[in-house]
Amino acid sequence: MCSVAAVDFMRVVKNSVTVEELFEDGDGYKLWDADLWQCPDCGAQVITGFAREPLAEHWQPTYHVQRDRLAPIYPGRCRAAKSN
């Protein structure tokens, strides 16, 4: 993982990725707009820069439509966006 110093070298890989915050059982809870960053040295990815308000919440009738439209979705239960 990145040291604190390495964080300074992280770069934005992609602006405006969609993160799905999940319930404990894995069901969708909220969709968030955020930025994907990556360390050029070790490839570790983090998502930060979350919007103040979610794009959608699970109780909204359009939730699943938005989820499909905004794919790919990064699951929000773990700190890293991807392990590879």
Q: Report residue 28 CA to chain centroid gap.
A: 13
- Which C-beta is closer to Zn ion: that of 5 or that of 71? 5
Residue 46 CA, distance from chain mean position = 8
Q: Does 13 bind Zn ion (CB under 5 A)?
A: no
**Cis geometry, peptide bond prior to residue 40 (ω within 30 degrees of 0):** no
> Between residue 14 and residue 73, which ones bind Zn ion under the rule CB under 5 A?
39, 41-42, 44
Q: Does residue 80 bind Zn ion (CB under 5 A)?
A: no
Our finding on whether 2 is near Zn ion (CB under 5 A) is yes
Do residues 39 and 12 make contact, with C-beta atoms less than 8 angstroms apart?
no
Q: Which is nearer to Zn ion, 62 or 83 (CB)?
A: 83
Nearest residue relative to Zn ion (C-beta): 39
